[in-house]
Structure 1
Amino acid sequence: MRGMIMLSLLDVKKSYKKNKAVDGISFEIQRGEIFGLVGANGAGKSTTISMLTTKTKPDSGDIIYQGKSIVKNPQLIREHLGYVPQDITLYSSLSGRDNLVFWGNAYHVPKKILEERIKEVCDIIGFTKDNLNQKTAEYSGGMKRRLNIGAALLHHPDFLVLDEPTVGIDIIARNQILESIRKLNRGGTTILYCGHYMDEVEQLCDSICILDKGKEIVYGKKKTLLTDTDKTLEELYYELIEVK
């Protein structure tokens, strides 16, 4: 049900040798919202994503998905999770369709419904049959980003993690991706959107957590944060970073 807590991070910490990559982060993501995770390079975003996608275990604290610990049992979230990394995870020698078939098989989507899922994904990311039949090596950067998102949707994830999905692309492709994200969310998908483009986060997100040097410096509903301060998200971000 929309509005219920889907995922919680509880005082999560992670260090690499003497470097505290994440130092006591806590936040909640509600079902049906778009949650923005914001920070500069080195703020702790990538490590946080690595932990909540169960690639890395925290040193301490817990991560709760639908009432149960995924630190103790990572499998609880994996079949419900779609993850779109910043790096493109497509095979350039294959067509768009063949890439989707590959990832559909990797997600164990039954063959009898895979073609239907591919059609659904293409509707979300705005791909035509001609686009699908092209080799991905021929795609623009924006098309690769859109197909990268599509590959993570084939198994109908409840929770989608997007790591900088608009980096390195032009404004038209960027707007296409943002509209695809809105369409997904309107369909009920809960989304964690990780980025450093403040205007995107302000446009898209319902709740926001700003990280700096591994620490959570502000977290809350976007409307509350921006109404209380009468600032844009970018202005608030730089003010908080300077204060720290």
Structure 2
Amino acid sequence: MPVIEVDRVSKRFGELRAVEDVAFSVEKGEVYGLLGENGAGKTTTMRMMATILQPTSGDIRIRGFSVRREPVEVRRCIGILFGGDVGLYSRLTARENIAYFGKLYGLDDRMLAQRMESLSSMLDMKEFMDRRVGGFSRGMRQKVAIARTLVHDPDVILLDEPTTGLDVTAANMFRRMVARLQEEGKTILFSSHNMGEIERLCNRIAIMHKGRLAYAGTIEGLRNKVKMNDLDDIFMAMVEGGGLDET
């Protein structure tokens, strides 16, 4: 059974149809890419997965738990990072920010210390773990936010534009981290506008356009479908209304 099942889910805000009849699934240990231009509906879809928004129709199941009927169980097994403002407490240190969220997830002091040591090493954060976040660069803040997302060792990880603000070195670190998490059996769904990043990390993808699913399947299958090779060209063809009219 897939770890993530998006089952014909729709979300409306009044008359606005933000997401319409979207369906795809993600298998255990898979790194799955979610693509789409701004306003395509991918963040709304991820917010429904995270139980922040409730679907208007359809359902999403995470490890068999319904976001509609079992939101608490869903939240226990996911880690979430959304783009934009990463929502850290500027007067607290990186360590204190991560510890705060670890405590919310019920980690005891020993486990929390172990997790922070592991994450600070994985994300190359040791030099600034005990500095206040208020003076951090965007990339440093993003690393803390990623550590906060992973502190409770979730089975399913939702990442919306996770490399925003990261320089080339840090972005490479992120890719190594994703590979390591995949080796550990984690299931990862992430959105990105970086086609090279998607291609390096993912075998299967979903592309959204104007709230609908334009494609769900393998990258190779997508290339065969549209008779194009470059993912950037394929993405632009979708945005401009050509080549990807249906799944």
Measured on the aligned residues, the alpha-carbon RMSD in Å equals 1.7
Task: Count matched residues.
Answer: 240
Answer yes or no: is 1:94 the counterpart of 2:92: yes
Matched residues in 1 for 2:160 and 2:63: separation?
22
Give the CA deviation at 1:151. Answer: 0.7
Q: Which amino acid aligns with 1:135?
A: R
The secondary structure found in structure 1 opposite 2:162 is: coil
Give the CA deviation at 1:29. Answer: 0.6
Matched residues in 2 for 1:33 and 1:124: separation?
20
Give the CA deviation at 1:33. Answer: 0.7
Matches within 5 A, 1:71-220: 71-86=68-83, 87-128=85-126, 130-220=127-217
The secondary structure found in structure 1 opposite 2:119 is: helix
Q: Which amino acid aligns with 1:37?
A: L
Answer yes or no: is 1:232 the counterpart of 2:215: no
Give the CA deviation at 1:193. Answer: 0.5
Answer yes or no: is 1:13 the counterpart of 2:6: no
Q: 1:28 maps to what in 2?
A: 25
Matched residues in 2 for 1:182 and 1:143: separation?
21
TM-score when normalising by structure 2: 0.91
* Mapped contact 2:161–2:190 kept (Cα < 8 A): yes
Give the CA deviation at 1:187. Answer: 2.0
Matched residues in 2 for 1:211 and 1:193: separation?
13
Deviations 1:206-232 (A, max 9, x none): 210000100000110223323554512
Instruction: Give % identity.
Output: 32
* Mapped contact 2:92–2:133 kept (Cα < 8 A): yes
Give the CA deviation at 1:134. Answer: 1.8
